[in-house]
Structure 1
């Protein structure tokens, strides 16, 4: 059975319009900036927030369709893992996992036996009697996941499940969570603002901005061909809209760019910041894209330094893009003596630029 969610929620000045499906065995990540509507969508699907219009159903079973039908959260076959896990401090790990089963009418012995199996599954059998305050963040996350899965839900909702973990723990727990999700044959909806969580865990990404879907598809497709500035920032690409004529693209926000493969009409152009080279003087040779630029900002970015550039004052061979990101090594920063306001020359090989229809 497929989860179908045609969500329309109006709250004050905000409106969510989202059409979403999740297939059995599929992990769908709902990704977007703060205030985009991700949590509103999850709460509506969970039965914690009635929709204003539309419908939510699992196969032929209707969960919400105003004004006549509304199933509350406890009458929907769902499991939820919240950002802060919401474990009961006064209960042991075993009793936390058994809680959902007991709430659904399972007898104490059966519930505890099932909870014990799930704690073993997530590698925490020896912590059965441990209270949440004595667990690490990663352990608490696994207890919360076991509690959500113990009831055999048709739908698993994950609300920023790794956000509360420190950086040293996240990598390990992300990998563990991915293994559990691969074994889960229900439907999973992951809400996150972290692109790495989404890229690693999800089969399909749904990007939401201002309450609407702006892009949807497999992670590899989203990473290769972003369609909004927000998505481009997520995947770390320079992205521009423009109009192509042959191998020249006139950029919508100003500037001109040469591409290797001829194209025509409205296009996106994208390239990684690592493809941009910086020079203190005009470079020799004949790079197709060369622009005088000025350093607008410098920040550490993973193992490189990201330089934000704006057009320089001296004229170039062609108008420069309004903004440009370049990733360089710390050694290059020292060689260039980079400082904000410094004038440089940026080059980009035409073969590094990807073009696709807008």
Structure 2
């Protein structure tokens, strides 16, 4: 059975219009900046917020279709994991997991036995009697996950499930969550603003900006062919729009880029910041893409340094370059510094805009 969600919600000046599907065994990540409408969509699918128009259904089982149908959350076969887990502080881990089963009419002893089995599946059987405040962030996340899964939901809704974890815990818990999602046969909708969570956990990405879907597809396709500045920033690419004539692209915002292969018509131009090199003087050999540039920002990124540049009027207005800390020292980089940027034409990707 397929989850269909045609969600239309208006709140003041904000208008959400979202149309998506999730297939059995599929993990779909709803990805977007804060305020894009991701959590509003999840709450509508969960039944915590009625849609103003549209339709939410599991195949022909309609959950919400105003004004005729509205099923409350307890009448939808869903499991939900919230950002802050929302565990019951006065209940043990065992009773937290058993709660959903008991709410669905399972006898107390049977519910506790099933809850203990689920805690054992995530290595927390020895914490069955522990209250939430005695658990680490990673342990609490696992309790919240198995509480959602224990009722065998048809749909699993995850709202920023790793956001509350510290960096040292996230890597392990993300991998563990991925294993559970691989085994889960239902439909999973993951709401996140973290591109790494989305890329690692999801089969398909749905990118939302300002209440609208701007791009969707497999993570690898999204990463190779971003269509908005937000998506390009997520996947770490320089992205521009322009018109190609043979091997020259006239950029919409000014400047030109030379391609290794000819193209024609309106195109997106994308390339990684690692394809950009910086020099204090004009480089020898006359590379095809060389522009005078001014440093506008310097940021540490893991083991590299990301440099923001302005290469107008002959090149892009905003240009990102990733260089090593040693190169930063050699160039004596400071904001406002004048340099020369080169771009390898062989690392440029173009596709129709």
Instruction: Give TM-score, length-normalised by structure 1.
Output: 0.98
1:11-30 alignment runs, 5 A limit: 11-30=11-30
The CA RMSD measured in Å over matched residues stands at 0.7
Q: Could you list the per-position Cα deviations for residues 279-298 of structure 1 after superposition, in whole angstroms to 9, with x for gaps in the alignment?
A: 00000002110000000000
Q: Could you list the per-position Cα deviations for residues 179-237 of structure 1 after superposition, in whole angstroms to 9, with x for gaps in the alignment?
A: 00000000000000000000000000000000000000000000000000000000000
Give the secondary structure class of the aligned counterpart of 2:138.
helix
Give the secondary structure class of the aligned counterpart of 2:253.
coil
Q: Are 1:84 and 2:84 matched, yes or no?
A: yes
1:143 aligned residue:
143
1:321 aligned residue:
316
Q: Could you list the per-position Cα deviations for residues 7-45 of structure 1 after superposition, in whole angstroms to 9, with x for gaps in the alignment?
A: 111111111111010000000000000000000000000
Give the secondary structure class of the aligned counterpart of 2:62.
strand
More displaced, 237-246 or 121-130? 121-130
Distance in 1, matches of 2:254 and 2:103, equals 60
Give the secondary structure class of the aligned counterpart of 2:282.
coil
1:220 aligned residue:
220
Distance in 2, matches of 1:195 and 1:253, equals 27
- Runs of 4+ in structure 1 off by over 3 angstroms are none
Count of residues in correspondence between the two structures? 353
Q: Could you list the per-position Cα deviations for residues 97-141 of structure 1 after superposition, in whole angstroms to 9, with x for gaps in the alignment?
A: 000001111110110011011001111111111111000000000
Q: Are 1:337 and 2:332 matched, yes or no?
A: yes
2:33 aligned residue:
33
Give the secondary structure class of the aligned counterpart of 1:278.
strand
1:202-351 alignment runs, 5 A limit: 202-311=202-311, 319-351=314-346
Give the secondary structure class of the aligned counterpart of 1:106.
coil
Q: Could you list the per-position Cα deviations for residues 244-300 of structure 1 after superposition, in whole angstroms to 9, with x for gaps in the alignment?
A: 000000000111000111010000000000110000000000211000000000010
1:96 aligned residue:
96
Q: Could you list the per-position Cα deviations for residues 301-354 of structure 1 after superposition, in whole angstroms to 9, with x for gaps in the alignment?
A: 121000000136xx8xxx111110000000000000000000000000111100
1:131 aligned residue:
131
Distance in 2, matches of 1:320 and 1:203, equals 36
| Structure 2 unaligned blocks of 5 or more | none
Q: Could you list the per-position Cα deviations for residues 154-175 of structure 1 after superposition, in whole angstroms to 9, with x for gaps in the alignment?
A: 0000000000000000000000
Instruction: Give TM-score, length-normalised by structure 2.
Output: 0.99
Distance in 2, matches of 1:20 and 1:46, equals 14
Give the secondary structure class of the aligned counterpart of 1:97.
helix
| Structure 1 unaligned blocks of 5 or more | none
Distance in 2, matches of 1:230 and 1:90, equals 42
Give the secondary structure class of the aligned counterpart of 1:239.
strand
